[in-house]
């Protein structure tokens, strides 16, 4: 019998006793039995009260744990690094954490009761509506969200449904992770990888070119040894020619006046050949020759004489050489002659369809800050030799490399790529510099700047031609 039934039974017995007590005296045995039953009921009530107190304490403990878990959930929800939203099944926002508010750039209170779709880029809204209708069992997805007074942002989204006590869908939990920075990092890594691959390709090409240069240098070393031996043989072969021309010009041989210019030309050519052989030996041995006063105007005049006799008639040669300004410099005649000849030949080669070769020599004063004066060179007076053509011209990327050793735009076998590199080295060794201007389809102009000197008091016009008086 339960405690409530026992209480009811005791209550009924008590009523019966009360009724009997009003009509006749109560029997002692019956009264004792009623008291025992009351005592028993009280003990049961005390035991039940103790159980109820224990159960109440457990309920209180459980309630406190639930409150603690709710507070923990609220804290985790609010302070989560990713954005979290709770919406109803139609997408209206009920709750939003701090990260979600920062993601949308909207205060938390302003997010509540707003439809989530208004923050979705129009292009992504059809996909959003499809996901909203069926948020379960789908993988994470991406969409673009709009921000107030800011550009759109890419987010990764995961959803989960919140169900009621009967298992019905009551709300949707949204997780939004900002992946814009991640995408930027991925893009930056891809760009860095592409740049690295390009650098590797460029470095590989440079190494291949360096290997080719090394092989050419090794061949040049072999050629240097051969050239040294050949120079000695040529000197021995040309020496008698120089002696013979000197002897032919003696009075005792009664040289005809008409033959005199021919013998003089032979003598000049023989001496020029001897100078070239000496220069070749100095280049192979790495020594420098003697520098003497040299008139750039005379040197250019000699080059023009040779060029005019060799270039086709489609090329016109114009010279502006002033005897009052011969642009005197102190230099080795043969290397400077080599520089000027190389520039003139390159200019003629650039005019395959004909054109005009222009040469000039003058003395210029270059002061500090002059745009023609490189920062590394001192101001002062310079002898300037100019060689210009009206040929095909050069593109900027070609101009940047014209002084690189072994660089050439000519076909294989047509050039070594050492002409301008050697000219540049010769000019630098003389304390000068070179300037070049070019335009595709218009032409190219080279200027050779060498430190100028005063004209010698007894200037021999032959100086600057053969290098000897």
pLDDT tens by residue, 220-243: 667 667 767 777 777 788 878 778
H or E element, residue 443: strand 443-451
Whether 138 and 195 map to the same domain: the answer is no
Q: Residue 138's pLDDT is what? A: 67
Domain boundary among 35, 59, 77: 77
DSSP 8-state symbol, 439: E
Average pLDDT over all residues of the chain: 80
Which residue's entry shows tokens 């008139």? 295
- pLDDT surpasses 80 at 190: yes
Q: What is the pLDDT of residue 21?
A: 63
Q: How many domains does the chain have?
A: 4
383 within 8 A of 452, measured Cβ to Cβ: yes
Distance, first Cα to last Cα, the chain: 149
Could you give phi then psi for residue 173, rounded to 5 degrees?
-100, 125
Cα 155 from Cα 141, distance rounded (Å): 8
pLDDT digits (tens, 9 = 90+) for 426-455: 898 899 999 999 999 899 999 999 999 998
Higher per-residue pLDDT: 142 or 297: 297
- 392-427 tens-digit pLDDT: 999 888 888 887 766 676 654 445 455 788 888 889
- Distance (Å) of CA 103 to CA 11, 112, 124, 177, 442: 70, 15, 17, 9, 59
Q: What is the pLDDT of residue 280?
A: 62
Domain identity same for 309 and 377: yes
In this structure, are 127 and 235 located in the same domain? Answer: no
* Residues 62, 50 share a domain: yes
Q: Which of 287, 304, 320 is the last residue of a domain?
A: 287
Domain annotation covers residue 454: yes
Lowest-pLDDT range of 78-92, 198-212, 272-286, 342-356: 272-286
Res 25 pLDDT > 50: yes
Asked if pLDDT for residue 273 goes beyond 80, the answer is no
CATH number at residue 159: 3.30.450.20
Q: How far apart are CA 317 and CA 329, in angstroms?
A: 24
Predicted local confidence at residue 469, as pLDDT: 31
User: What is residue 144's predicted lDDT score, i.e. its pLDDT?
Assistant: 86
Residue 377 falls within a domain, yes or no?
A: yes
| 300 and 426 share one domain | yes
Inside any domain, residue 310: yes
Of 273, 254, 223, 288, the C-alpha closest to 426 is 288
Q: 51 is written with which tokens?
A: 């159980």
CA distances in angstroms from 340 to 20, 76, 300, 314, listed in the order given: 153, 83, 7, 21
Among 86, 84, 117, which Cα is nearest to 103's?
84
- 339 and 259, same domain (yes or no): no
User: Between these two residues, 362 and 274, which has the higher pLDDT value?
Assistant: 362
Q: Considering the domain boundaries, does residue 89 fall inside one? A: yes
Whether residues 221 and 355 fall in one domain: no
Kindly tell me if the per-residue pLDDT of 253 is higher than 70: yes
Compute the C-alpha angle 16/17/22, nearest 5°: 100
- 40 and 9 in contact (C-beta within 8 Å)? no
Paired sense of beta strands 93-96 and 141-147, if any: unpaired
User: Which residue, among 283, 271, 328, has the nearest Cα to 429 in the 3D structure?
Assistant: 283
User: Which of 59, 77, 95 is the last residue in one of the domains?
Assistant: 77
Q: What is the pLDDT of residue 463?
A: 45
Predicted pLDDT at 329 = 94
DSSP characters over 229-293: HHHHHHHHHHHHHHHHHHHHTSGGG---TTTHHHHHHHHHHHHHHHHHHHHHHHHHHT-----EE
In a domain, 139, yes or no: yes
Query: Does residue 114 have a pLDDT over 80?
Result: yes
Residue range 367-396, pLDDT digits in tens: 998 988 888 889 999 999 999 999 999 988
Same domain for 56 and 194, yes or no, is no
Decide: 264 and 255 in contact? Cβ < 8 Å.
no
What confidence tier does 121 reach under pLDDT thresholds 50, 70, 90? Answer: confident
Together in a domain, 71 and 133: no
- At 328, is the pLDDT very low, low, confident or very high (cuts 50, 70, 90)? very high
What CATH number does residue 424 fall under?
3.30.565.10
Cβ neighbours, 10 Å, residue 385: 27
- Report the distance separating Cα 395 and Cα 225, nearest Å: 37
- β-pair type (433-439, 443-451): antiparallel
- Structural domain includes residue 52: yes
Kindly give the interhelix angle for 260-285 and 333-349, rounded to the nearest 10 degrees. 100
Domain assignment present for 183? no
Specify which of 84-93, 320-329, 335-344, 378-387 reaches the highest per-range mean pLDDT.
378-387
In the prediction, which pLDDT does 14 show?
67
List of residues 6+ apart from 48 with CB closer than 8 A: 3
Tell me what the mean pLDDT of segment 4-14 comes to.
Answer: 67
Least confident of 83-92, 208-217, 259-268: 208-217
Q: Please state the separation of Cα 206 from the chain's center in Å.
A: 17
Classify residue 328: in a domain, yes or no: yes
> What confidence category does residue 158 fall into, taking pLDDT thresholds of 50, 70 and 90?
confident
Residues 220 and 352 in one domain: no
pLDDT for 142 = 84
Residue 340's pLDDT band (cuts 50, 70, 90): very high
- Per-residue pLDDT at 208 exceeds 90: no
Asked whether the beta carbons of 144 and 153 are under 8 A apart, the reply is yes
Confidence tier at 18 by pLDDT (50, 70, 90): low
Q: Please tell me the predicted confidence (pLDDT) of residue 465.
A: 41
> 67 versus 468: which is more confidently predicted?
67
Mean pLDDT over residues 151-179, rounded? 84
DSSP one-letter string for 313-347: TTEEEEEE-BTTB--EEEE-HHHHHHHHHHHHHHH
One domain, residues 346 and 438: yes
Give yes or no for residue 38 having a pLDDT over 80: no
Same domain membership, residue 95 and residue 8:
no
Range of the domain at 208: 188-287
Q: How confident is the model at residue 189 (pLDDT cuts 50, 70, 90)?
A: confident
Question: Which of 136, 130, 125, 143 shows the shortest CA–CA distance to 159?
Answer: 136
């Amino acid at each position: 019998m339960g405690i409530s039934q026992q209480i009811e039974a005791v209550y009924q017995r008590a009523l019966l006793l009360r009724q009997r007590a009003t009509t006749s005296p109560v029997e002692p045995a019956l009264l004792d039995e009623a008291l025992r039953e009351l005592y028993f009921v009280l003990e049961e009530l005390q035991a039940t009260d103790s159980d109820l107190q224990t159960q109440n304490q457990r309920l209180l403990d459980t309630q406190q744990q639930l409150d603690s878990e709710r507070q923990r959930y609220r804290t985790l929800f609010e302070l989560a690094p990713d954005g979290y939203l709770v919406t109803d099944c139609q997408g209206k926002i009920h709750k939003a954490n701090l990260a979600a508010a920062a993601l949308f750039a909207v205060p938390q209170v302003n997010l509540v009761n707003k439809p989530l779709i208004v923050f979705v880029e129009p292009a992504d809204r059809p996909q959003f509506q499809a996901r909203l209708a069926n948020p379960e069992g789908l993988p994470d997805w991406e969409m673009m969200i709009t921000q107030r007074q800011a550009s759109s942002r890419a987010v990764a989204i995961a959803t989960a449904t919140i169900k009621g006590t009967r298992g019905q869908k009551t709300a949707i939990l949204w997780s939004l992770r900002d992946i814009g920075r991640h995408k930027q990092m991925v893009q930056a890594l891809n760009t860095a990888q592409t740049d690295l691959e390009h650098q590797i390709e460029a470095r590989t090409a440079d190494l291949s070119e360096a290997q080719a240069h090394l092989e050419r240098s090794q061949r040049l070393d072999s050629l240097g040894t051969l050239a040294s031996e050949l120079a000695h043989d040529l000197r021995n072969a040309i020496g008698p020619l120089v002696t013979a021309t000197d002897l032919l010009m003696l009075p005792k041989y009664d040289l005809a006046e008409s033959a005199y210019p021919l013998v003089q030309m032979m003598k000049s050519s023989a001496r020029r050949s001897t100078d070239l052989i000496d220069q070749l030996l100095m280049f192979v041995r790495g020594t420098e020759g003697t520098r003497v006063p040299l008139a750039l105007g005379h040197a250019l005049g000699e080059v023009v004489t040779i060029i005019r006799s060799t270039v086709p008639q489609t090329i016109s040669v114009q010279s502006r050489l002033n005897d009052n300004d011969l642009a005197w410099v102190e230099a080795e005649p043969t290397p400077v002659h080599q520089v000027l000849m190389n520039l003139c030949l390159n200019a003629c080669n650039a005019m395959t369809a004909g054109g005009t070769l222009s040469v000039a020599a003058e003395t210029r004063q270059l002061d500090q800050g002059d745009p023609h004066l490189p920062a590394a060179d001192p101001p002062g007076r310079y002898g300037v030799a100019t060689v210009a053509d009206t040929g095909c011209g050069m593109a900027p990327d070609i101009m940047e490399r014209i002084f690189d050793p072994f660089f050439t735009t000519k076909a294989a076998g047509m050039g070594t790529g050492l002409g301008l590199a050697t000219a540049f080295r010769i000019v630098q060794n003389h304390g000068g510099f070179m300037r070049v201007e070019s335009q595709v389809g218009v032409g190219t102009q080279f200027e050779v700047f060498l430190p100028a000197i005063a004209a010698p008091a007894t200037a021999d016009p032959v100086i600057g031609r053969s290098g000897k008086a």
